[in-house]
Amino acid sequence: MKAPDSIHTLDTIEELEALYEAAVPGAVTKVATAMTPLYRQWIEASRFVVLSTVGPEGTDASPRGDDGPVVRVADDGTLWLPDWRGNNRIDSLRNVVRDGRVSLMFMVPGCNNVVRVNGTAVVSADPAVTTQFEQRGKNPKVVIITAIGEMYFQCAKALMRSELWTSPDVSDSVPTAGQFLKEVTDDFDAKSYDEGYPEYAKTKMW
């Protein structure tokens, strides 16, 4: 990406580092390279994670959620993330197959900290793996198996600033999914789409 000529950009790490003080010691020493009892407790309480991947076309970040723990802690170095039904774009899965680098950001409602995991992943359709996640008689087509490289909690400042869990509900003031679709699709019935989606989705959650 090239910024407008009128905007100065940083071209070296040295220029960047010169703007900041040294990292707080705890921000470095907090990094774990394998599961610990407390990180396990947090991750098993999380029903929502953002999966970040990278591929030839660029980067991708995908929200993933479940009605219980969003991932399974297979062992102290491995997380299993089932790929439940979505829109079949499979952008994240394509990326993982071609470039195994992944990041996971786990969130727990009401908690201002988040837990981050960086590692490498593979995609498995092995029934020995997928059948372990049976929900309502259905199994995921694949499971993303992540080897933990490092894990650490992110300080609470970002969620505190945004008041993510306590700010007023503004959902009525932002566009709906139907409105987004109508903006780029001719002759689309946004109202019917939005009104019907909750019932439609109930049969396609798993």
Q: What is the pLDDT of residues 78-124, one digit of tens each?
A: 999 999 999 999 999 999 999 999 999 999 999 999 999 999 999 99
Q: Which long-range contacts (CB under 8 A, 24 or more apart) does 53-56 make?
A: 53/91, 53/92, 53/95, 53/96, 53/99, 53/101, 53/102, 53/121, 54/95, 54/99, 54/101, 55/91, 55/94, 55/95, 55/98, 55/99, 56/98, 56/99
Predicted pLDDT of residue 1: 66
Indicate the length of the chain as a whole number. 206
Report phi then psi at 24, rounded to 5: -60, 130
Classified as helix, coil or strand, 81 is strand
Task: For the chain, give the percent of residues with pLDDT over 70.
Answer: 99
Average per-residue pLDDT for the chain: 94
Residues of the chain with CATH 2.30.110.10: 13-159
Classified as helix, coil or strand, 200 is helix
Separation of alpha carbons 27 and 59, rounded Å: 25
> In CATH terms, is domain 13-159 a member of 2.30.110.10?
yes
Predicted pLDDT of residue 186: 83
Report phi then psi at 173, rounded to 5: -105, 5
Instruction: Look up the pTM and report it.
Output: 0.92
DSSP E strands in the chain: the ranges are 48-55, 58-65, 72-75, 78-82, 101-107, 114-124, 143-154
Give the pLDDT band (50/70/90) at residue 188. very high
Q: Which is nearest to 154 in space by CA: 140, 169, 164?
A: 164
Q: Which is nearest to 74 in space by CA: 140, 142, 146, 153?
A: 146
- With 0-12 / 13-18 / 19 or more C-beta atoms within 10 angstroms meaning exposed / middle / buried, residue 136 is exposed
Predicted pLDDT of residue 203: 87
Full strand arrangement of the beta sheet holding 72-75: 58-65, 48-55, 101-107, 114-124, 143-154, 78-82, 72-75
